[in-house]
Each structure stands twice: as structure tokens, then as C-alpha cells.
Amino acid sequence: MKKLLVPLSLMLVLVIGFALTANRASAINSNARTAAMAESNISIEETPSSPAVQVFQELNKKGQAKIGEGWLYMRQSDKVDVDPPKEEGVVPLIDTTMDGWYYINAKGFAERFVTITRTMDGQIQQVGIYSDGTTWNTMVDETEIMEPFFFENFNYGLPYGFKSPDFKSNNIALEDGSEAVLFTYTLKEEDPYYAFDYSSSARVEFMSYEYIFDSDTGFFVSLKQTVHFEDDSQRVLSYILLEEIKFIAEPPADVLKYFDLKKTREEQK
């Protein structure tokens, strides 16, 4: 009996180890599945509703109802405030604008798009093109396979804030007098930390987020992401403004030519 004790113990440990691994692998696969589902058909997270969440969901429904079949044009700007890098190889965030043309089909799925990102002096930094089930980016010259995705009203990740206990909404008036809703929340890590983009600053204590949505259209207006440091100073890491969003008959010819360029590049590969 004693002779059997050691092999049996070893087997038991291995079985427990395997079960733990399988369980975790299953959890990872489950997460991957969820993420893969999100990639092909991203949906707003279902979370127990606070009043602010309900306000957002109503606005989002309003905005979503305005997205129909055809070419949607959007233009956003992204202004950042970060430290210049000290270390070689670090690529700093820079101010950019992005123009995007999305073809949305009758079922609400984006089938094709061209996005052009420019630096503030108007130079093209990169172009992203999606057609025939693949995306190609001019900056990195890489192709990715992607299914058509359900085109959701732009939210720039607002639903992530639903998890925050201080997620709330307030009605506000914009500079032009139009009505809007301001959503705010904060994110605090367990411990303060030195951030990659603020190597010469104090440790980050928390981040705050301010989203504005147009009450009339339900469309995103802006997002201000502020970093709050331990020494009570703060900096706006990123300010994103959706400058324009509208349906158009067709993108300009110099935009459509990118579909041909992508096709040519894919044939060369």
C-alpha cells in the first residue's frame, strides 16, 4: 500500500495541476471568444443600469437610429499633452486629425472604409483601408483579415466607465447654445504609478474622463482624458473632438483611389 502512495500522490498532483491549467485556459479561451465576438460585432456592454447609464443608452439609441445605409463621413481631432521622450525608441503621442469614410450596408455593417490620419501640418501619417474582408495600413504595410463589423454609434469607449462607482451624467449647454450631456468618471489604480508618457512628472494618482454627447442627435461630441498626479497637478493626456459627422453620396475620387492602391499592393504581396 505504501508503495502505491507516492505514485498515487504524484498522479493526484498532476491531475490537479492539469485541471487548474485547463480551467484557466478555458477562461482565457472564453475571454478570447468574447473578444472575437466583440471584434466582429461589437456591442455596448450590458451592465446593471444606473440613471447615468440609462441616459447614455437612450442617447446611444438615438444616435444609432440615425446611422443608415450609405457612406458616413467623420472627422476627428486628437490633441495630446505628454512629455518629450528621454529614451531612444520611444515614439511620443502627437496631435493628429483623422478623416474617415465608412460604407455601411443595409444591415448596418461596415463593409469598406478609408481613414486618413494627418499630422497638424497636413502631412499624411497613415491611411487605413478596409475592403473585401481585409484591412491594409500604409504606415506599417501590413494586412489583417477582418469580417464586416456592425457599425455602432461612436462612443470612444464610454461604456468602460459603467464599471466606475462615480460614473454620472449632467445636462449641459454647449458654446453654441445646443443641449448636451456630460458623462464623467474616474479610474484609480490600487497604487500610484509612474506613467510612460510622463517620465518627469510625479506618480499618477487617478485618471478622469469627460465625455460629451449631443442631446439632439445622440452623437459623440468630445472626450477629455485628464491625468491627475500625486502632487495635485494635472494634464490633459488627450482631447478628442468629433468635428464633423454626416452621410454623403460618395467619398472624393482621391479617397476612393486608396481601394485600388490596396488591391494593387495585395497583388504584389
Partner 1 sequence: MKTKQKSLALAVVLILSLLLTTVAYAGTTSVSGGVGDANCTASKTITQSSSYWTAYVRSQCDLGIGVIGYTSWTVRQYCPMSGSYTVRFQSSVGDVNTNTNTFQRAISNIQYATGCGNGYIRLHDMGRHDFKTILNIWRPSVTRNEMHVY
Q: How far apart are CA 186 and CA 249, in angstroms?
A: 40
Amino acid present at 159: P
With binding defined as CB under 8 A, does residue 30 bind partner 1? no
Instruction: Characterise 156 by phi-psi region: left (phi > 0), alpha (psi -120 to 50), beta (else).
Output: left
Among 52, 55, 59, 98, binds partner 1 (CB under 8 A): 98
Among 46, 120, 193, 230, binds partner 1 (CB under 8 A): 193
Q: What is the residue-wise DSSP string for 247-266?
A: EES---HHHHHHHHHHHHHH
CB of 103 closer than 8 Å to CB of 111 = yes
Residue 31 has φ and ψ, to the nearest 5°, of -60, -40
Among 65, 120, 124, 146, binds partner 1 (CB under 8 A): 146
With binding defined as CB under 8 A, does residue 93 bind partner 1? yes
Q: How far apart are CA 181 and CA 170, in angstroms?
A: 6
Residue with smaller CB distance to partner 1, 2 or 48? 2
With binding defined as CB under 8 A, does residue 120 bind partner 1? no
Binding positions for partner 1, rule: CB under 8 A: 6, 9-10, 13-14, 16-18, 20-21, 24-25, 28, 32, 35, 38-39, 42, 45, 74, 76, 78, 88-91, 93, 96, 98, 100, 110, 113, 115, 117, 126, 128-130, 135-137, 139-140, 144, 146, 149, 152, 154-160, 187, 189, 193-197, 204, 207, 220, 223, 225, 227, 237-238, 240
